[in-house]
Amino acid sequence: MTSPLLINGQLVEGDATLDVLNPATEEVYATCSRGSEKQLNEAVAAAKAAFPNWSAQSIDQRKQVVLAGHGGCH
């Protein structure tokens, strides 16, 4: 299973995949989506647009958002 990218609040598939290796065994233990340059630019633009509102939130509010999103990470 490949984890999608989160760009501007939307889960999207990357244009390619990237294997993540266990450095001790060199076995593949995860596969991640690999975004294109266009997807990278979209993600950076979305992050820049979101920053003023995000930075105005308290640490407790940010913590809730980060912990709520953790369920999708493997």
Least Cα distance to 34 among 55, 46, 17 occurs for 17
Which helix (DSSP H) or strand (DSSP E) does residue 47 occupy?
A: helix 37-56
Q: Which domain holds residue 19?
A: 2-72
Helix, strand, coil abundance in the chain, percent, nearest 5: 45, 30, 25
Per cent of the chain over pLDDT 70 is 92
In this predicted model, which residue has the larger pLDDT, 33 or 71?
33
Put simply, whether the predicted model's pTM sits higher than 0.85 gets the answer: no
Instruction: Dump pLDDT digits (tens) for 32-52.
Output: 899 999 999 999 999 999 999
Number of domains in the chain: 1
Strands 2-3 and 5-7: unpaired
- Cα separation, 12 vs 4, whole angstroms: 5
Q: Which residues pair with 11 in a beta bridge?
A: 6
